[in-house]
Amino acid sequence: MQPREVDPTDERVLERNYDYAQRNVRLLAMWYECDVEQMLVLLAEHGIELSRNDRLEFGTQYRAARDRFERDGEWTH
pLDDT number for residue 31: 96
Whether the predicted pLDDT of 75 surpasses 60: no
Q: Residue type at 41?
A: V
pTM: 0.85
In angstroms, what CA-CA distances link 73 with 30, 31, 41, 76?
26, 26, 12, 9
Using pLDDT thresholds of 50, 70 and 90, give the confidence band for residue 44. Answer: very high
36 contacts: CB under 8 Å, gap ≥ 6: 25, 26, 29, 58
Q: What is the mean pLDDT of residues 54-58?
A: 98
Domains in the chain: boundaries:
11-72
70 contacts: CB under 8 Å, gap ≥ 6: none
